[in-house]
Structure 1
Amino acid sequence: MNKQFASTGDLTEKSSAFVEVGPDLYAFTADGDPNTGVIVGDDCCMVVDAQATPRMAKDVIEHVRAVTDKPIKYVVLTHYHAVRVLGASAYAAQSIVASDATYQLIVERGEQDKASEIGRFPRLFRGKEEIPQGLTWPTISFKEEMTLFLGRREVRLMQLGRGHTAGDIVAWVPDANVMFTGDLVEYQSACYCGDAHLRDWPQTLDRIVDFNPQAIVPGRGDALRTRADVRGAVAMTRDFVGTLYTSAELAVARDLTLRETFEETRRAMDPKFEGFAIYEHCLPFNVSRAFDEASGVDTPVVWTAERDREVWGALQGLV
């Protein structure tokens, strides 16, 4: 049976939550939609991941203003995907911060990614006409690690390794043992792997575990507020990524086609993950990337709106 393209049929509004994950640390979540983190310091705030449009970001700002009147000084982008970054202008922050690798990915594929994501998931781009012309650019970037201070509160921004993209960073708040992981960790949600480095991702998860966080804000899904829940979410993410790549690797070793690899991978993944948020949306793009990486393609192929539909049509079908 053919399926509607990506998430074009997902038009239902999600209920949002704004929960405290540590002292003056918050997670804005919405039933499997992209999360945003908020870090309140002595004299200012930091937002981790901006939402997809200024209109969507205003929902976050309303919640922030319910808990503090301190200015939002920093917007941190955990990676380059449009659904995370194009709402940044709404915060009127002093600085937008990302890794050097994320900056380079915006240069290389930002325009294509913007068109791709808007086409795949229109509900998340409500008010897209309010996005400032052009792309969202970091005003500060760094190679491996940067420490920022919100008054006395220290926030360490770190690139722990490749995974969801080549430029992922986490935000670590050492006084509370809380980490904002971006899409390196998901909870009850499919990992989007179309731009991933699947063989590296488990080692990056190991480095997250080494911090032994008390709580994390994942890229999607509920905030995890106990160490047991954190371990469970990391294990779930590891299983998702590992099942995907192992299935593709075995299929490539057997000289199967991409379509045959898709069917083999679905048989391995459906029993464990088909109930996860955005699972069907992600599967064709995930298998395509896993197939490429298992075939020796290290740098993910750029996704365009046209390529999205070609791959979807070949693997999922269109209505």
Structure 2
Amino acid sequence: MAKAFASQGDMTEKTITFDEIGEGLWAFTAEGDPNSGVIIGDDSVMIVEAQATPRLAEKVIEKVRSVTDKPITHLVLTHYHAVRVLGASAYGADQIIMSDMARGMVAERGQEDWDSEFQRFPRLFEGHESIPGLTWPTTTFTDAMTVYLGNRRVDIKHLGRAHTAGDAVIHIPDQNVMFTGDIVEYHSACYCGDGYFGAWGGTLDKIKAYDVDAIAPGRGDALVGSEMVNKAIENTRDFVDSTYRPAARVAARNGSLKEAWDAVRSECDAKFNDYAIYEHCLPFNVARAYDEARGIAHPRVWTAKRDIEMWEALQG
């Protein structure tokens, strides 16, 4: 029987965990599904990552209401991907914050990404009929901005390209905690289909330089303590490098995409095949690594049509 494309066959509900990773800072995680973060200030709340639909966002709101009744006033979206942003309307936030680059990517490829991701992973779009449309920020920044939730300072920064061109991280200095989006993952495959392999390691170095006490990653468990934080950063680095190296070797000798796929599997399967969404990410990761190694500097737009054409080429 042919393999199901991406995560079309994954219909298993995940167990939600809600962990406090610093005073008034919470990580909403779900066994490798997209994470969200909660930052509680003096009088209000900031959410990091919206989830894919308003219905799924309500699960985050339910957890928020278990620890505070303060209003949700700010929503930060670390990048433009549909599974991160399309649930935004549920929060009723006064400000929706993205980097300038992330907003540009909504304009350039937001609808195509929505159509593509919906096809790839239908379970994550529970209640998709409630999505009012593309999510647009009310506030953008280029390199950095600071938001004060009363006396609590929240620094939002673009440290460099990695998972996308416009990734943001959120640092809370009073607890030295960071929300990294999909730049860092824990026991979950990195999705590199819109990534920058050559830049990712440098961005990880900048995160590591903060020497944070905890990280809420894009997927996987909350990371508390320097040992767990550093392990996740280095595992992410290994995943990215182990994907790119074999694809680049194939590209250098003018080998095919299918040969790159086989080479990446040979290097990565033994190390990472038990990671969440590994099989889902692999074809997109190989395609992007192969492109970057051949000199295609920026990720090409994924569409529902391009997804299937790529998948059929790899399965042939």
- 1:301 alignment partner, SS class: coil
Per-residue CA deviations over 1:61-110 (Å, capped at 9, x if unaligned) read: 00000100111110000000000000000000001000000000001000
Matches within 5 A, 1:159-238: 159-238=158-237
For residues 151-187 of structure 1, the C-alpha deviation after alignment (integer angstroms, 9 at most, x for no partner) is 0000000000000000000000000000000000000
Amino acid at match of 1:239: D
The aligned counterpart of 2:82 is 82
Q: Taking every aligned residue pair, what percent have the same amino acid on both sides?
A: 59
User: 1:254 — aligned with what?
Assistant: 253
Residue 70 of structure 2 aligns with which residue?
Answer: 70
- Code of the residue aligned with 2:120 in structure 1: it is R
CA deviation vs aligned residue, 1:33-85 (integer Å, no higher than 9, x gap): 00000000001010000000000000000000010011111000000000000
Q: 2-side partners of 1:316 and 1:166: how far apart?
A: 29
Partner AA of 1:84 in structure 2: R
Q: CA deviation at 1:316?
A: 3.8
Pair 1:128 & 2:125 matched = no
1:314 Cα deviation after fit: 1.4
Q: Is the 8 A contact 1:189 1:221 kept in 2?
A: yes
Equivalences, count: 316
Aligned-pair CA distance for 1:137: 0.2
TM-score after normalising by structure 1: 0.98
Q: Which runs of 5+ in 2 are unaligned?
A: none
SS of residue paired to 1:281: helix
- Within 5 Å, give how 1:141-160 maps onto structure 2: 141-160=140-159
Q: Indicate whether 1:296 and 2:295 are aligned.
A: yes
Match of residue 111 from structure 1: 111
Computed over aligned residues only, the root mean square deviation of the Cα atoms, in angstroms, reads 0.7
Matching residue of 2:40: 40
> One-letter code of the match for 1:111?
Q
Q: Residue 315 of structure 1: CA displacement?
A: 1.2
SS in 1 for 2:66: helix
Residue 9 (1) aligns with residue 9 (2): yes
The within-5 A match list for 1:17-36 is 17-36=17-36
SS in 1 for 2:105: helix
Code of the residue aligned with 1:181 in structure 2: it is T
Measure the CA separation in 1 of the matches of 2:184 and 2:191: 11
SS of structure 2 residue aligned to 1:74: strand
